[in-house]
Amino acid sequence: MSAGHRRVVFALLLTAAAPVASEVQHVPPELALPILGHAVADSEGKEIGHLVDVLVDEQGLPQAAVIDFGGFMGVGNRKIAVAWGALRFVPADPKRAITLTLTPDQMKAAPEYKDVAKPAPVVVSSPAAPTPPPEPEPARQ
């Protein structure tokens, strides 16, 4: 093989091995939020814990969030796993960027998330009670 052919073959190998450029999207901070370690608020806006882990299914879709409640320097803290749908995300609202829709009673009654080797006890928020229809106004006479 001549030197000219070797250069062409080498150049073809280099272009074939070059990585394909991917498209880059820029997401503004008011539309996206880094969530691990982020504070979690209750529906009143009071900080109740921190999101410390996300449990995903085999497709990589989030199924549950692990929230660490209370404690001081790791003493007295308690972790619970909540269904992903029990969280509301509003990146533009710094006080309520992540809100947990569980009631205080549901949070207290939730089993602790301890052993990652066992199935996670995930708390699912109960749907809101339907609002009763308004009563008809009395007929005027």
Domain parsing of the chain, residue ranges: 41-120
Q: Which architecture does CATH list for 41-120?
A: Roll (2.30)
Give this prediction's pTM.
0.67
Q: Who wins on pLDDT, 97 or 87?
A: 87
- Please say if the pLDDT value at position 137 is more than 90: no
How sure is the predictor about 127, in pLDDT bands with cuts at 50, 70 and 90? low
Highest mean pLDDT among 65-74, 83-92, 119-128: 83-92
Q: How far apart are CA 88 and CA 56, in angstroms?
A: 17
Beta strand pairing status for 47-56 and 122-123? Answer: unpaired
Average pLDDT, the chain: 78
pLDDT of residue 91 exceeding 80, the answer is yes
Q: Is pLDDT of 83 > 90?
A: yes
* 130 band by pLDDT with thresholds 50, 70 and 90: very low
Span 5-63, pLDDT tens digits = 445 444 444 455 556 667 888 878 777 788 899 999 998 889 999 999 999 999 999 99
